[in-house]
Structure 1
Amino acid sequence: MSAHHDEQDARGSVSSWNLPNILTAARIVMVPFFVWAFVLGGPFGQDSLLARWVAFGLFALAMYTDKLDGDIARARGLVTDFGKIADPIADKLLTGAALVVFCLLGELWWWVTIVILVREWGITLMRLIVIRYGVMPASKGGKLKTVLQAAGIGLLLMPLVPVLGDWWAWVGWAVIGAALVVTVVTGIDYVRQAVVLRSQARDAR
């Protein structure tokens, strides 16, 4: 019997204990180790370049598994309700932890992190509330937001400021600034979609 069949029960339904969901769970487990290495490295990696590179490596690995688990789930038909909920939560835990630690180390402004986190968790909560009316699919803008956030965090995580100078930090901040704009704009669009979805569902009654 193949591994693919092992991930489905006797009735043919998809088991929550499958490879994509295991990868998602592993991403959540990575978060405390990522934070530990990140803090150990100190501001811009000045306390420990090795620890900072480890933090970057864990973040890059987590971002790769994020893409991988989605690809596997769709290719093998292993999409589950657990995965739909756990996957975005895992993403937000990782990016949220990164942004908070940046602020604690003095590498990023708190207001940037607060705006992004309020939008991310607010939209997640809103999606859970309106799910009874229908599902709001991820938009192209939402996907761009994710890419920009990951790129900005990744650039700042790399301890290259001590080597290349402050301009490297400004590159990272510029990308995070772009991510912030897209984050806010897509957040407003998701709210609009939720209002329309709720209105259409009520009119259909």
Structure 2
Amino acid sequence: MNWFEQIDGYCERTDFTYWSEPLNALTNLAFIIAALILWRRSAGIPMARVLSAILFIIGVGSFLFHTHATIWASVADVAPIGVFILTYLFVVNRDIVPMGGWMAAFATALFIPYAAALVPVLNRIPFVAISNFYWTVPILLILYAIFLRRKPQIARGFLIGAALLAVSIIIRSLDEILCDVIPIGTHFIWHILNGIMLGWMIHVYIRHMLATARTGR
């Protein structure tokens, strides 16, 4: 594999100069700003700090991809997203469901076969196939919201997160479809909405942990 092979996957990019995707690059500030805000709010909640740090890295990785546009930068973009998903699932399983540590880790690992089974199904649906993997996340959030319906604040928080992410995925999927109509593309909106959505999900976790600390259960 040539790690320095360049990738042109977005409307905004017209060549392989560093700043060919200025909006796609600079809107990664949404992740970084959300991470800094949530870092300050997560004092005393170690895993919220971990999630905030990963969110910061997501912003950096995505910036690298939308400037360098290479395979190595694509990995730097995608890998932190996967780490965030698995880390968030773990803290939900451990602290919100709740489960014991080993059981939470096992339940988190089930995301891999879940996604592997669902992606081929999503591939068969026109338009949805464009962002097939990403759709596994709002679907899972809805399933968790149903499972946690006896915790209405958590369930509502997950449903809001699922709705935000669904809108964001739709906008991401429209990027190249609307190139002729919107030359700058729509991918930069995906960054902004995802920064809000991931920050919201960390907020939902922080709120639960603070409430748990107050009530002692």
Give the TM-score category using the shorter length: 0.3 to 0.5
Q: Which has the higher helix share?
A: 1
Q: Return the TM-score normalized by structure 2.
A: 0.35
Q: From the CA coordinates, give the structure whose radius of gyration is larger.
A: 1
